[in-house]
Amino acid sequence: MPRILSGKRIVVGVTGGIAAYKVVELVRRLVRMGAVVDVVMTRAATDFVGPLTFQALTRRPVQVTTIGVWEGEQAGHVTVGASADLMVIAPATADVLAKLAHGLADDAVTLTALACPSPLLVAPAMDHHMFRHPATQENLAVLRARGVVIVGPGFGPLASGLVGEGRMVEPDELLGAIRTVLGQRGTLAGRRVVVTAGPTREPLDPVRFLSNHSSGKMGYALAEVARDRGAQTTLVTGPTCLAVPYGVSTVAVETAAEMLDAVAEATRSADVLVMCAAVADFRPRTVAPEKLKKRDGPLLLELEPTVDILATVHRRGLLKVGFAAETERFVEHAREKLTRKGLDLLVLNDARRTMGADSAQVTLLRPGRPPERLPELPKEEVAELIWDAVEALVKERLST
């Protein structure tokens, strides 16, 4: 699980929109990731989702009224808002946006928001015409000027039957936004990092290509953790089925040559390059202009090496992290790659066990040090440990 949410106090304000059903999954995942979640609701929200649902998920009381019983040091809505690391309002209806913009506080959600000094994130959800109305747009502008983070809305089918702008974003995007806001002052704040992920594809003809089994999961996890720690993160990714991480600048590429160009550009001002992508080692020497036909007989391919991106990209001060997906003589091959490519850190894994999997067992290699074998862990947790190692190297470099 991502460390960024562990122990964090999150207030989730739920207002009266049909998208309230999505917030059930958001709250479930926040709790699963270690956050302490307090839910406050408007009375209208309870028409869509009952307070008992959120109470069962959070194991904490849910506030619906503005008047509650104060117990000891707990001062109702004031304590809930004041002790939060972040408040999220989802769905945020047009009515609630207007109240927030003008400082009104006549329900549990807006009252708690006024008492919360921590960052506020809102996810608008309403009919298309309501969202586009000048009053709503002005209210959103006011909130943005105050530093409120606005996430969405998206474009799609709405409860009214219309298709347009106004749909609340999905829980995945909200979680990414929450993690981004919480990590703004993290341990990598002010750093620029570049992460590569996924496979590359080397075309044979207009419809076929050479590639590999990489899913991109490890690289995407690395990019998300870097973002969680406050880094300005660029993800250069080959083709995957994964959603673009919130708050990460993403560059999509296909071939090894395209990835080289994107990495060279992105690392011009970067502090760290993490080369996690499974880049093709070879490509066809020629690409057929038309689809190759089976009836043409046996297909003989002449392959040529692709450019070694890690060995090619050099810049004074750039810390370079590589990956070695091996199938034999693991440490021997990894040490040779560490030296040949001038790396500061190399992450070794078994290609047959790791590619496409949700977990990984890796070994970390650094120049002049013995290998550090890590236990098999979910890739999100492996990403955290890799960034711990990178941060240690950054501190060592600054101290010398």
Q: pLDDT tens digits, residue range 378-390?
A: 999 999 999 999 9
| Per-residue pLDDT at 296 exceeds 90 | no
Q: Which CATH superfamily is domain 192-399 in?
A: CoaB-like (3.40.50.10300)
d(CA 112, CA 259): 47
Position 70 confidence tier, pLDDT thresholds 50, 70, 90:
low
Q: pLDDT tens digits, residue range 135-174?
A: 999 999 999 999 999 998 989 888 888 888 889 999 999 9
| Per-residue pLDDT at 28 exceeds 60 | yes
Which fold is adopted by the domain 3-182? Answer: Rossmann fold (3.40.50)
CB atoms within 10 A of CB 297: 7
Residue in this structure with the two tokens 């044979």, named with its chain if needed: 204
| Per-residue pLDDT at 75 exceeds 70 | no
Position 290 confidence tier, pLDDT thresholds 50, 70, 90:
confident
Domain ranges of the chain: 3-182, 192-399
| Per-residue pLDDT at 198 exceeds 80 | yes
pLDDT of residue 157: 81
Q: Which of 212, 249, 250, 363 is catalytic?
A: 212
The reply to whether 212 belongs to the active site is: yes
Sequence-ordered strand ranges (E) for 80-186: 86-92, 120-124, 149-150, 154-157, 163-167
pLDDT of residue 315: 83
Q: Is 3-182's fold the same as 192-399's? A: yes
Query: Structure tokens of 126?
Result: 């309403």
pLDDT of residue 351: 65
Position 327 confidence tier, pLDDT thresholds 50, 70, 90:
low
| Per-residue pLDDT at 331 exceeds 80 | no
* Mean pLDDT of all residues in 80-93: 92
Q: pLDDT tens digits, residue range 233-275?
A: 999 999 999 999 999 999 999 999 999 999 999 999 999 999 9
pLDDT of residue 77: 56
DSSP 249-268: EEEE--SHHHHHHHHHHHGG
Query: Structure tokens of 115?
Result: 């008492």
Q: What are the residues whose beta carbons fall under 8 Å from the beta carbon of 289, sequence distance 6 or more? A: 205, 206
| Per-residue pLDDT at 212 exceeds 70 | yes
- Highest mean pLDDT pick, 10-14, 102-106, 301-305: 10-14
- Highest mean pLDDT pick, 147-151, 213-217, 329-333, 365-369: 147-151
pLDDT of residue 334: 74
Helix, strand, coil percentages (3-state) for the chain, rounded to 5, are: 35, 25, 40
Position 71 confidence tier, pLDDT thresholds 50, 70, 90:
low
Residue 91 CA, distance from chain mean position = 21
pLDDT of residue 13: 96
- Highest mean pLDDT pick, 65-69, 70-74, 186-190, 365-369: 186-190
- Output the average pLDDT for the chain: 89
Position 365 confidence tier, pLDDT thresholds 50, 70, 90:
confident
| Per-residue pLDDT at 74 exceeds 90 | no
Position 122 confidence tier, pLDDT thresholds 50, 70, 90:
very high
Position 17 confidence tier, pLDDT thresholds 50, 70, 90:
very high
pLDDT of residue 400: 59
